[in-house]
Structure 1
């Protein structure tokens, strides 16, 4: 599945209408029909009271189809037209005229007024937002702004269903300028919109579903559209490395976790445990020798490699001690708990000069130590995976966090392309970018993951899958999906407040267990 913006959807509609020959009025009929199906399937009432708020564009046209079909099912929805009828054009006008010719009732906001609408909304069970759709640009104007504000007073109290996208949310960026509907559910057409996963979009869409309206599934290929891919369950399952039933610890890779410092003892331990619990054959935890006793006591499963320390962090001599051993590791994860320390940039440069071209995962303060010497990334012969959160990304680019969050997709793409690396830009909806410019969006995860140590679990998970033979993109897809879904599932038992890093590991193991028993392809006889 892909995520699309306004222009891409317009191209798809135009292609379907002009090249395939399916008229726009038919697409609009199909769209309205699918929304009605969802209304009827999701309501618990046999006679729900429905109010449809219709604008003058195609979104309003969808609303007229919805209303007409609800009448055909024996319901009596109220349709409120929020604009002057002369503003209704094109396919929407055809469906508006069909609705009128049927003799079905229509309420004009200009005639009835906001107070009467307010009274009717109080009595409604379901409010249908067919006001603006994907064409919104800039702040919503009056009287639509007041109508949206009024609808939002019923957030969490009534079922608010947005048609295609909540009115007021940009389909390209997810930005809201002024007011936007806060839907409990969004029924979108063909593909989810990019704005569902960016900026304020996730706060407005509620539960979402993409429905078929007869736009052909090959259309992205036919039009050669460059769209972000959505990380779905089938995509994530297919990306998980396959295991051999006759494998042994040498079969499943050796991960080196390089991190830790006096004040951050737990971070590298989280990463090491995550890698071991998700299939890595061996994990070596390389830490400053001063924290060795604490690390050894908490992590007996890993091999421990204490290295020279200075003032609670890695000393310059640590690279000399580590260098002869580096060729034995299938993947190296650098950064969990490493901290920022004097001469850290020189230390990082020396490390890169001794790595043996295995995949490298860079996280946490290792990103900071690389921020002024990004040439190390291009010069490295192996594959580099970076996993910054927005604050770390802002440091890498020397821009504000606000700028990062305002343009996540393009910033991730440009950085990955420029530096020939794989990037996972963390956040409420994480974005993955490849050196060739491909983009992936993870639609899962929520505040249960918003806790120190959560990112370290993800680092270990990515490193584990890389060591087991997954490609960088497959490791990122599967790890980010499992990490997010584990947080969601454990929160159901422990609450969004109570999920701890080790709970995420437990959640990942449960998901892998389900996958193991449902998909025979994960185990071979070789």
Structure 2
């Protein structure tokens, strides 16, 4: 499934109307019918009170279709137009004329009728937001501002359904400019919008569902559109490493995790546990000798490579201990709990030079050591995966966190292409970019993951799948999805307050069991 912005959706609609020959009024009829299905799925009964709020564009036209179809089902909705009927244009004007010819009732917005609208919304079971569509940008003007504020004051038992996109959310970048509808569900047409996953977008869309309105998906290829893909369960199932029944510990790969320090003993342990619990055959922990006794006591299933240390962290001499061993490993993850130390930049350059071209995952303070040495990435013999959070990405790209957050898709893609790396940009909705220009969006994840150690688990999942032979983009797709979905599922069981890193592993294992069961059916 792709994600699209305003321009791409206009291109898809235009091609469908002008080249294929399906009139826009028919697409609008189809759109209204699909939203109606979702309304009926949540409507308590035919006595349900439904209020429909319409603007003057195509989004409002969809709302008018929905109102007419509700009447046909015996439900009498309250339809409110926030513009004068004569200002309706194009297909919306056509459908309003049909609605009016049927003699169906509606109300026009007037400030003097504010109390009527307010009381109607309060009494509604379902509120349909068809105010502003994908073309809305910038600050919300009156009367839309007032009406959106009314909707957002709804009671818990009311359901708000947005048509295509919550009014006030920018379809390209997710900006809400301080005010937007907070939907319980968004029924979007053809593809989810990029803004669903960026900036404030995820806070407003609620549950979303992309529905077919007769715009053929093949148009994306015909128009050669470069759209990011949204990660789905089916995609994850297809990207997971394949298991062979006669496999053994050597079959499923050996991961080396390099990290840890006196201050951060747990981080590499979390990574190692994630490696083994997601299918890799072996994991070795390359850690400072000073923390070896503590780490070994907590992680008996791992192998260990105690390394020379200095003042509680890896010393520059540790690279010499590693060099002769590196060829044994199918993937190397470096950074979890490493902490920062003098000479770290040179240490990391030496490590990358000594590796034999196996996939390497760089995280945490190892990313900090890269900030002035990015050219080494272009010359590495094999796949490089970077997993920065926005602060680390800002350091790597010499930008501010604000700049990163305002252009997450573009930042990730540009960096991946420039330095020939696979980049996983963490955040409320993780972005994955490849050197070839592919971009993926993870639609899952929330505050249950907001705890120290969560990122170390993700690093271990990625390294594990790489060691098992997954392509880098596939490892990132499946690892990020399982990590985020696992956190969400544990949040439902334990509360978002109480999810710990090892809880994510347990939940991820349950998800993997479901995928394996599907394969055995």
TM range (shorter): over 0.9
Compared with structure 1, are the counterparts of its residues 469 and 130 closer, same or farther at alpha carbon in structure 2 (3 Å cutoff)? same
Query: Per-residue deviation at 1:397?
Result: 1.1
Query: Contact 1:307–1:321 (CA<8 Å) still a contact in 2?
Result: yes
Provide the residue aligned with 1:486 in structure 2: 486
What is the CA distance between 1:351 and its match in structure 2?
1.2
Pairwise mapping of residues 23-422 of structure 1 onto structure 2 (< 5 A)? 23-110=23-110, 113-154=113-154, 156-422=156-422
CA distance in 1, matches of 2:517, 2:137: 48
Task: Report the secondary structure of 2:134's partner residue.
Answer: helix
Instruction: Label 1:155 to 1:201 Cα distance change in 2 as closer, same or farther (>3 A).
Output: farther
Distance 1:228 1:502 in 2: 31
| Residues 69 and 516 (structure 1), Cα distance of their counterparts in 2 relative to 1, 3 Å cut | same
The Cα shift of 1:218 comes to: 1.2
CA distance in 2, matches of 1:30, 1:76: 20
Distance 1:403 1:4 in 2: 21
What displacement does 1:432 show? 0.2
Residue 340 of structure 1 aligns to a residue whose secondary structure is coil
Distance in 1, Cα, partners of 2:178 & 2:155: 17
Gaps of 5+ in 1: 522-526
1:217 Cα deviation (Å)?
2.2
Separation in structure 1 between the aligned mates of residue 520 and residue 11 of structure 2, nearest angstrom: 40
Structure 2 distance, partners of 1:40, 1:157, is 16
CA contact (8 A) 1:155 1:182 kept: no
Q: Deviations over 1:478-523 (max 9, x none)?
A: 11111111111111211111111111111111111111111139xx
Runs of 4+ that moved beyond 6 A:
none
Say if 2:125 and 2:157, in contact at 8 Å, map to a contact too: no
Cα deviation, residue 178, structure 1: 3.3
Q: Any idea what the Cα deviations from partners look like across 1:80-103, whole Å, max 9, x if unmatched?
A: 010122221000000011111100
Judge conservation of contact 2:296–2:304 (CA < 8 Å) in 1: yes
Q: Which whole-Å deviations, capped at 9, do the CAs of 1:451-471 have from their partners, x for residues lacking one?
A: 110110010000000000000
| Cα distance per residue 1:113-165 (max 9 Å; x no partner) | 22221121111111110001111021110111111111111163411110000
> d(CA) in 2 for partners of 1:162 and 1:309?
57
- The separation in 1 between residues aligned to 2:10 and 2:3, in whole angstroms, is 14
Q: Is the 8 A contact 1:155 1:183 kept in 2?
A: no
8 Å CA contact 1:255, 1:330 repeated in 2: yes
Distance in 2 (CA, whole Å) between partners of 1:155 and 1:77 is 19
Q: Distance in 2 between matches of 1:2 and 1:217?
A: 9
CA distance in 2, matches of 1:475, 1:257: 17
**What is the alpha-carbon distance in structure 2 between the residues aligned to residue 139 and residue 114 of structure 1?**
21
SS where residue 519 of structure 1 aligns? helix
CA distance in 1, matches of 2:230, 2:107: 40
Give structure 2 stretches of 5+ with no counterpart. Answer: none
Please state how far the C-alpha of 1:64 moved relative to its aligned partner. 0.6
Q: Which moved more, 1:231-240 or 1:346-355?
A: 346-355
1:46 Cα deviation (Å)?
3.1
Q: Using the alignment, how far apart are the partners of 1:21 and 1:155 within structure 2?
A: 44
Q: Distance in 1 between matches of 2:194 and 2:463?
A: 29
Measured in 2, the distance between the counterparts of 1:156 and 1:179 equals 19
User: Does the 8 A contact of 1:240 with 1:465 survive in 2?
Assistant: yes
Q: Secondary structure at the match of 2:382?
A: coil
Counterpart CA distance in 2 for 1:116 and 1:202 is 31
SS where residue 284 of structure 2 aligns? strand
Asked if the contact 1:62/1:92 (under 8 Å) is kept, the reply is yes
SS in 2 for 1:160: strand
The answer to which of 67-76 and 170-179 deviates more is 170-179
Contact 1:51 1:126 in 2 (8 A): yes
- 1:502 equivalent to 2:520? Answer no
Q: Does 1:430 align with 2:430?
A: yes
- SS of residue paired to 1:287: strand
> What TM-score does the superposition give when structure 1 sets the normalisation length?
0.98
Q: Aligned partners of 1:230 and 1:4: how far apart in 2?
A: 10
Q: 1:111 to 1:291 in 2, by over 3 A?
A: closer
Q: Distance in 1 between matches of 2:469 and 2:352?
A: 22
Q: Distance in 2 between matches of 1:100 and 1:428?
A: 44
Q: Is the 8 A contact 1:155 1:184 kept in 2?
A: no
Match of 2:457 in 1: 457
In 1, are the aligned partners of 2:344 and 2:369 still within 8 Å (CA)?
yes
State the SS of the aligned residue for 1:187: strand
What secondary structure, in the 3-state scheme, does the structure 1 residue paired with 2:444 have?
coil
Q: SS at 2:33's partner residue? A: helix
